[in-house]
Structure 1
């Protein structure tokens, strides 16, 4: 098996984008072999994951280190910091730049005092948040951001995150709202506001009641709708738009995950398998066993 190259062996690479998600100002993925950046500040919260190597930095004149695969580092707004690879080696990092209002100003001093948070749950959640943003899964990203923000605040306040009691009625009403039109682009923040609860509370309540988080529930509803449209002969590109996916590639990725095939192959499967006398009847609908 060919070994995965370390950051020191990879070419320098920087990818940045602004996702359409309130609270996230920028996403940056970078791999650098020798680059060191001078002292500067941001007007955002910097949430840093190091995937390979380690980053040494000075934050407000205090030396710190962000190791790879060990928690995450959070740097507050308007506080000077620099960065460089430890020991002259390269590093690979992923960064979220969060709006100042995502974490309270009372947490700035706490982040300066102890920016490294060794919390496996938080790191895993932020990793999934990055993956959701890259994959254009904005409803999932919204849920991941809300939970990560809440846990970040708890940890910076030196509190052990405590489980909150779910409320079944919140879950039932949220499902009714999502069922009304799973493709309309409704945000979890809008649903939570209608129910007068926080987004983390909504996510926990829904997950406890139905066994899956609300973004996964909505995804299933969208895929159900997509399957029906495909079997009606609607082109896959149009189906993606009508069922709330970012584009056809986004629909295809989730189709592969849940059904092990592409939308086009799914659509063609019935026309190939159906008898001629059924194939000519527009109202005929097969019973598919390709996935649940």
Structure 2
């Protein structure tokens, strides 16, 4: 072959390497994928390439690249390629009980048609649709669950009720993060420190400090990491000391936050003004 990319013909399914409470897969199918079946969980995913076609609630649906699929629990569906190029996608399966721990007894959100291009759902599902070799911290997973439940509710047409926030409780959680950011902080630990239930705390933290608990932890780690780098620590040492799993984990967060790699940032700081 000269100058052309070989067409993928072998079907494959790759589960996430690190199992959490949420099952995640990435898959490719060149033609027929699944016979009609149903789950007792939400099946939520994104088409990465090709056209993903499936029968759902009496109609043929076609998910294009970048679209978000939200298949309601216990709804019959199948799956196949919409074109001869096949389709690739990522999907996670989430127990409705997890969503209800956040929504607290509201009707389970329903996304009409099973496919959405709403940017709020795209953003909310992003953390749970990472590559299968990337693990999720427990606090990161809880943050993603909260955002997902809220996005499903809003996009599904539910009204958001205003609630009174508890500043003192959230401030206790914030102070704990400052003291322990390089440890393995969980939402359970923050709940215990604050005296507030997990999901009320998660909601109030966002309202009062403009970001999620996990993001707040990550920023404290990154700030400390930069201090260590300036003090002469290697990138790997700074990453571990700051509480990241490893250097690659820190690098992904560094670039996501500041738009440059930690190595490049370190070189720029060392050079100083010309």
TM-score by length of 2: 0.72
Q: Structure 1 109/247 Cα, relative in aligned 2: closer, same or farther at 3 Å?
A: closer
Is 1:71–1:120's contact at 8 Å kept on the other side of the alignment? no
* CA–CA separation in structure 2 for the residues paired with 1:122 and 1:204: 18
Q: How many residue pairs align between the two structures?
A: 260
User: In structure 1, what is the equivalent of residue 47 of structure 2?
Assistant: 50
Q: Which of 53, 69, 92 is equivalent to 1:96?
A: 92
* CA–CA separation in structure 2 for the residues paired with 1:41 and 1:113: 17
Is 2:169–2:196's contact at 8 Å kept on the other side of the alignment? no
Is 1:76–1:108's contact at 8 Å kept on the other side of the alignment? no
Q: Structure 1 175/95 Cα, relative in aligned 2: closer, same or farther at 3 Å?
A: same
How big is each residue's C-alpha offset from its partner over 1:129-161, in whole Å with a ceiling of 9 and x where there is no partner? 3249865453444312222124435666x5244
How big is each residue's C-alpha offset from its partner over 1:260-288, in whole Å with a ceiling of 9 and x where there is no partner? 34359728965xx6xxxxxxxxxxxxxx9
Q: Structure 1 134/236 Cα, relative in aligned 2: closer, same or farther at 3 Å?
A: same
* CA–CA separation in structure 1 for the residues paired with 2:79 and 2:106: 22
* CA–CA separation in structure 1 for the residues paired with 2:29 and 2:118: 25
- Which ranges of structure 1 fall in alignment gaps of 5 or more residues? 274-287
User: In structure 2, what is the equivalent of residue 241 of structure 1?
Assistant: 240
Is 1:51–1:93's contact at 8 Å kept on the other side of the alignment? yes
Q: Structure 1 140/133 Cα, relative in aligned 2: closer, same or farther at 3 Å?
A: farther
Q: Which of 67, 72, 79 is equivalent to 2:69?
A: 72
**Whose radius of gyration is greater, 1 or 2?**
1
Shift of the alpha carbon at 1:53? 4.0
Q: Which of 14, 26, 29 is equivalent to 1:29?
A: 26
**1:238-277 pair list within 5 angstroms:** 238-257=237-256, 258=258, 260-263=260-263, 266=266, 270=270
Is 1:41–1:81's contact at 8 Å kept on the other side of the alignment? yes
Q: Which has the higher contact order (CA 8 A, sep 6+)?
A: 2
Name the SS for the 1:36 alignment partner. strand
How big is each residue's C-alpha offset from its partner over 1:245-273, in whole Å with a ceiling of 9 and x where there is no partner? 12111122333442734359728965xx6
Is 1:203–1:214's contact at 8 Å kept on the other side of the alignment? yes
How big is each residue's C-alpha offset from its partner over 1:166-186, in whole Å with a ceiling of 9 and x where there is no partner? 443343222112112001111
- Which ranges of structure 2 fall in alignment gaps of 5 or more residues? none
Deviates more, 1:34-43 or 1:160-169: 160-169
Deviates more, 1:31-40 or 1:147-156: 147-156
Q: Structure 1 residue 181 and structure 2 residue 180: aligned?
A: yes
User: In structure 1, what is the equivalent of residue 77 of structure 2?
Assistant: 81
Q: Structure 1 112/143 Cα, relative in aligned 2: closer, same or farther at 3 Å?
A: closer
Shift of the alpha carbon at 1:125? 1.0
Q: Structure 1 117/231 Cα, relative in aligned 2: closer, same or farther at 3 Å?
A: closer
Is 2:109–2:152's contact at 8 Å kept on the other side of the alignment? no
* CA–CA separation in structure 2 for the residues paired with 1:101 and 1:265: 44
Is 1:230–1:263's contact at 8 Å kept on the other side of the alignment? no
* CA–CA separation in structure 1 for the residues paired with 2:67 and 2:202: 26
Name the SS for the 2:211 alignment partner. coil
